Amino acid sequence: MSIRTRILDAAVELLGTQGLKALTHIRVDVEAGVPRGSTSNYFRTRAALLTGVVEWLAELDLADLVSRPSPPADVGAFVALLAHAVETATTASRTRTLARYVLFLEGTHNEDVRRPLLAGRAYFRSFVETTMERLGAHDPAAAATAITAVGEGMIIQRVTVDPGADVFAPIDAVVRAFVPCGHTRASD
């Protein structure tokens, strides 16, 4: 693993476990186990470090999205994929998810942080909309809005108040609400 990757992983860990105030060059150096000054060699300013972390998260998220096998063939497979994504985001990738939310909050007043995060979200939303269109949704755009809202809500619920909250039933309900009865398989 390169020093830059170690630095970025350490920065994500600090953001996700200790918040934005923990993101300093020195603390990242310590967390990454690299010589003092290494982080500032790659990211001269705190703003550059923030931008680097945002771009790193977007790169990791994109790699996760494109590593997916073929698009889901039916509603059940799509619901399972979405539920698995929420479960992963709140368990195995919990720290990364929390880091992303810290950055989303920072992005409310920092466009350089917000822009790449929104690009990643737009990519995922497009995937949901395209899949819902293939599954015969009467309004794929509205379906994508509702599905992403439920998914994001479930993620926030699980990382803040109820780690064991069921994700399958709410996602299944919202997906099926947009697919005509009897139309559960993707058209070819």
**The token pair that represents 34 in the structure block:** 């690299």
Q: What is the DSSP letter of 21?
A: G
Calpha distance 50→40 (Å, rounded): 12
Residue spans per domain, the chain: 1-44, 51-177
Amino acid, res. 104? F
Calpha distance 10→52 (Å, rounded): 12
CATH class of residue range 1-44? mainly alpha
Q: Positive or negative, the Cα torsion across 155, 159, 160, 162? A: positive
Calpha distance 94→108 (Å, rounded): 21
Q: How many CB atoms lie within 10 A of CB 182?
A: 7
Taking CA atoms, 12 is separated from 67, 69, 93, 134, 166, in Å, by 21, 27, 11, 35, 27
Report phi then psi at 74, rounded to 5: -150, 175
Helices 94-107 and 46-66, interaxial angle, to 10°? Answer: 130
Under 8 Å between Cβ of 100 and 159: no
pLDDT for residue 64: 76
The reported pTM is 0.88
Helix ranges (H only) for the chain are 3-18, 25-32, 38-42, 46-66, 75-90, 94-107, 111-134, 140-160, 168-177
Task: Print pLDDT tens along the chain (188 aa).
Answer: 999 999 999 999 999 999 999 999 999 999 999 999 999 999 999 999 999 999 899 888 777 766 766 778 899 999 999 999 999 999 999 999 999 999 999 999 988 888 888 887 888 899 999 999 999 999 999 999 999 999 999 999 999 999 999 999 999 999 999 998 766 665 54
pLDDT for residue 182: 63
